[in-house]
Amino acid sequence: MTTIGVLHPGQMGVSVAASARAGGHTVLWASEGRSSQTAGRAAQYGLEDAGTLAELCRRAEIILSVCPPHAAEAVAQSVAAQGFTGIYVDANAIAPQRAQAVAAIVMQRGASFVDGGIIGNPAWKPSTTWLYLSGPQAESVAACFAAGPLETEVIGDAI
């Protein structure tokens, strides 16, 4: 099974995390600086608290960024600063040019990059929410969600 870090388990992020957990994957989150509401959601859906971003980056094979679009680059920079070298999935609603910038940030430090786009509401029921993925490691990421209600579609290898 794969260890996945989710940044951050808000309403959408926790549903994506729960979809990965349905397949038996370990899903981490980092409680440092997060609200009690976020902690409650994470606990409710069985996410494992890594405590800090540094520990999450150390343990995760895949990191999934689901955050407000304005924060996409800053979140990527904070992960890159930890030396993360796994697969970084940016699933934020950002333009292709910004996705390229995020890719450059994380790839510069040795991580692989997968661009993602979530269409729909939080993924609690099958066939209501889609995660479109592109990049060389997109198939590996898609496989993590096969057992849950989040539907995935790999568009291709290009970012």
Give which of 156, 146, 144 is closest to 1, Cα–Cα.
144
- What are the pLDDT digits (tens) for 96-145? 999 999 999 999 999 999 999 999 999 999 999 999 999 999 999 999 99
Structural domain boundaries enclosing 129: 3-156
How would you write 109-153 as a 3-class SS string? Answer: CCCEEEEEEEEECCCCCCCCEEEEEECCCHHHHHHCCCCCCCEEE
User: pLDDT for 19-64, tens place per residue?
Assistant: 999 999 999 999 999 999 999 999 999 999 999 999 999 999 999 9
Total of domains in the chain = 1
Whole-structure pTM over 0.95, yes or no? Answer: yes
d(CA 16, CA 39): 16
Per-residue pLDDT band for 9 (boundaries 50, 70, 90) equals: very high
Which CATH number covers residue 69?
3.40.50.720
Tokens standing for residue 68: 């407000």
pLDDT of residue 142: 99
- Contact partners, residue 139, CB within 8 Å, separation at least 6: 154
Would you place residue 68 in the very low, low, confident or very high pLDDT band (cuts 50, 70, 90)?
A: very high
Q: Are strands 129-134 and 112-120 parallel, antiparallel or unpaired?
A: antiparallel
Looking at the predicted structure, is the pLDDT value of residue 8 above 90? no
Distance (Å) of CA 122 to CA 4, 9, 36:
18, 11, 20
